[in-house]
Structure 1
């Protein structure tokens, strides 16, 4: 009887054990199982755009909106958690993409051909943003501080240390600047904002180009480090005489003053829809180079010189095909249906022709075997 019961128990448990083991192996191989949540990580510059568009996207995909099927041609919808985004900085997001759980990364600078190959990924711009130089100076109402790349470079090189320095006053005739020490604040983590900021300095200052140079994470000659956009905002806002750099929409919402920057034409402009659009006039959006060439601003006198492209990086492997397809539907929503709200946040939607070119690029770059 004992052997009979034991054999009967084995006959019941063994198939169940096999099913459990097979399920675990399948989950390990796919990394996601049947999860429909989209997980992204990366840029803090793009954080408001991603998080607010994610909420809007979840709304239009909701189950209680049956007309959505007829509008979109699909009935896919997110689970209760929707889209999860980790604002860990551009570099952090790119590193997180190696995790099978992460579907996309958001970066304020493009990856190289080698970097894309190493990740097994493709990238494309999804929107435009602007890095603003911000400061904590009590200026007269209606007055805007003017700065250019050589002057800002000297501040971050530690050569210009007070706000009433002749180099700064020469750019601001009629503006009484205080005899106040300058506290230069920079990002301490890998950041696309740093990439855009140091690129601007390198383009306009030979001393900077030949010294610290451009990158998402550099060796700073001087200044105070702050982690993430929120840390930089807090540091500038809490330090009289501070200067820093941050996405312009977040700077405005934080109540920080934004400087007008000298562009390639010698004019001073502030970030905004018109100046950002002027900055990308004539840019090639075809993706023939897999979007590895950084966005370069035009010589238009109206151009804002620290206009940056916001890139989404997604996986190309057929193993993640369904996850990538879900991610692309969300990214298409950001470019096509969330454009007005994006502009309200301080971002600039891609021009319609650019959006069409990007989505055409997806059909070839993300086809299995491409």
Structure 2
């Protein structure tokens, strides 16, 4: 009889989980990937996932306020940012993506070459036209019209901004001292737009524009994007392989919070990053049920295992084995009312 009751209870939890909706909000960087993942997950498991692409900053705010089950963020939250959280927050990476300098230059067909210093100087407002000698010297034989540069950047709190500024701060002491690193910055120049799609839209509609966007947004909008010189001096065009190599040789800490920009790997693309899901270790809070907690854990476990099969077709790199294993260990820390899920 006890076995029958236990089986009935387990079946109730499973059925409730299958009928629930998991909610998330945050980064636009992984939104094309998450849209595919969550559609496939619903088809496979019957669980709907409502994810709002509102920017990493907004996602972090919503998880702190506990208005979503999980946040999406391209940068891990700092200890300072988490100190006011009402519970222990955990991070797991779900993919590696590349941030590319996309541009709109009529007549230029080959990918332009950029150094970190040139990108920093463009975003500092020091390089104002496309035929500036700092750009033409990197691209001999390429005819570049003397168009003024329209700088496009994010207006919202953005993990893509964090990744881009994290890279610039590593290669430009002037950028580090004058602008720094963050989701939101005091920009010296530029036209602001919300989301990766917003920045891509500004670039697409403005001859002479340049903007930093996640690789898939450049490809979806048919925007040319440049190669970027890595730490080894090689100009690398973003793709799955070079983005994945950014994690090679990087020690992944137990909590997985780490920067991948300006990798020492000789073949790595230098502006690459994990994108993260952030959630609470203790899942019993507010009116949450055990079924909701289990639904979240099952979803996240699927994202770092079966779901990885969707990364590369959508121009994201899969998680390295070390990162995937640490993500699984972190998921095993999830509890409900103090007991492991």
TM-score normalised by the chain length of structure 2: 0.87
3-state DSSP of counterpart to 2:118: helix
Which blocks of at least 5 consecutive residues in structure 1 are unaligned? 1-31, 63-77
Cα deviation for residue 130 of structure 1 reads 0.9
What is the rounded CA distance, in whole Å, between the counterparts of 1:58 and 1:278 in structure 2? 31
3-state DSSP of counterpart to 2:275: strand
What is the rounded CA distance, in whole Å, between the counterparts of 1:123 and 1:100 in structure 2? 15
What is the rounded CA distance, in whole Å, between the counterparts of 2:55 and 2:259 in structure 1? 18
Cα deviation for residue 56 of structure 1 reads 0.3
- The aligned residue for residue 26 of structure 2 is 42
Does residue 39 of structure 2 align to residue 97 of structure 1?
Answer: no
Moved more, 240-249 or 264-273: 264-273
- The aligned residue for residue 292 of structure 2 is 323
- The aligned residue for residue 103 of structure 2 is 135
Superposed counterparts of 1:220-369, under 5 Å: 220-285=187-252, 287-288=253-254, 290-319=255-284, 320=288, 322-364=291-333, 368=338
Which of 60, 70, 83 is equivalent to 2:44? 60
- The aligned residue for residue 172 of structure 2 is 205
The alignment yields a C-alpha RMSD, in angstroms, of: 2.2
What is the rounded CA distance, in whole Å, between the counterparts of 1:100 and 1:340 in structure 2? 30
Sort the Cα spacing of 1:244 and 1:296 in 2 relative to 1 into closer, same or farther, 3 A. Answer: closer
Cα pair 2:283 2:334 within 8 Å, conserved? no
Superposed counterparts of 1:21-40, under 5 Å: 36-40=20-24
3-state DSSP of counterpart to 2:97: strand
Larger radius of gyration: 1
What is the rounded CA distance, in whole Å, between the counterparts of 2:71 and 2:162 in structure 1? 16
Cα deviation for residue 270 of structure 1 reads 1.3
Cα pair 2:244 2:318 within 8 Å, conserved? no
What is the rounded CA distance, in whole Å, between the counterparts of 2:294 and 2:262 in structure 1? 32
Cα pair 1:315 1:324 within 8 Å, conserved? no
3-state DSSP of counterpart to 2:311: helix
3-state DSSP of counterpart to 1:301: coil
Residues 137-181 of structure 1, C-alpha deviation per residue, up to 9 Å, x if partnerless? 12444x110011111111111111100000001111111111111
Residues 89-118 of structure 1, C-alpha deviation per residue, up to 9 Å, x if partnerless? 000011111344410000000111243343
Superposed counterparts of 1:9-28, under 5 Å: none
Cα deviation for residue 369 of structure 1 reads 7.9
TM-score normalised by the chain length of structure 1: 0.81
Sort the Cα spacing of 1:188 and 1:169 in 2 relative to 1 into closer, same or farther, 3 A. Answer: same
3-state DSSP of counterpart to 1:122: strand
Q: How many residues align?
A: 318
What is the rounded CA distance, in whole Å, between the counterparts of 1:324 and 1:273 in structure 2? 33
Superposed counterparts of 1:88-167, under 5 Å: 88-119=54-85, 120=87, 121-141=89-109, 143-167=110-134
Cα pair 2:25 2:58 within 8 Å, conserved? yes
Cα deviation for residue 60 of structure 1 reads 0.8
Which blocks of at least 5 consecutive residues in structure 2 are unaligned? 1-15
What is the rounded CA distance, in whole Å, between the counterparts of 2:18 and 2:64 in structure 1? 19
